[in-house]
Amino acid sequence: MKLHKALIGIVMGVALGVTAIVAPLPGEQNVAEAAWSQSRADKVIATGRKYQGTPYKFGASSSTTAVFDCSSFTQRVFKVAVGKSLPRSSRDQAKVGSSVSKSNLKKGDLVFFKASTTTTSKRITHVAIYAGNNKLLHTYGKPGVTYSTFKGTSWEKRFVSARRVL
């Protein structure tokens, strides 16, 4: 019986030891993940910035960089910057990744909007990339690809949801 208990103790000790070696400490994993995501987010913003001033065209083909609509822009930027494939439409893009609250936005998050500040519908009609420092990187209307202020503007009032895909 003593030998049986000793063997169980040894097996459990080895199992715990292996688990401690294989599984990183929570703090270590979060730091590595944060640094990796930050690097990828910086690449996304740098890539998007290269298209600044490119004209907007609703329904633009995802195979061109001569014009963009909001979702072809985000689709192109994420693919070129980090190899991340996104669906073609903003509504479908709003289903990928993980949900993020407006107060927890990080650089590189996708931010989704409804059509106007007065509609009660939560139907998504626009997508932008959160660029950090209260800025959105996106394309619409006359400015084409541009930066816009987020908080305290009609963009914030039109906010529906945000997703982290990095």
Residues marked active site are found at: 70, 126, 138
Q: Shortest CA distance to 144 belongs to which of 82, 72, 87?
A: 72
Instruction: Report how far apart the first and last C-alpha atoms of the chain are (Å, whole number).
Output: 54
CA distances from 56 to 47, 89, 139, 144 (A): 17, 15, 6, 5
Burial class (CB in 10 A: 0-12, 13-18, 19+), 10: exposed
CA–CA separation, 129 and 78 (whole Å)? 10
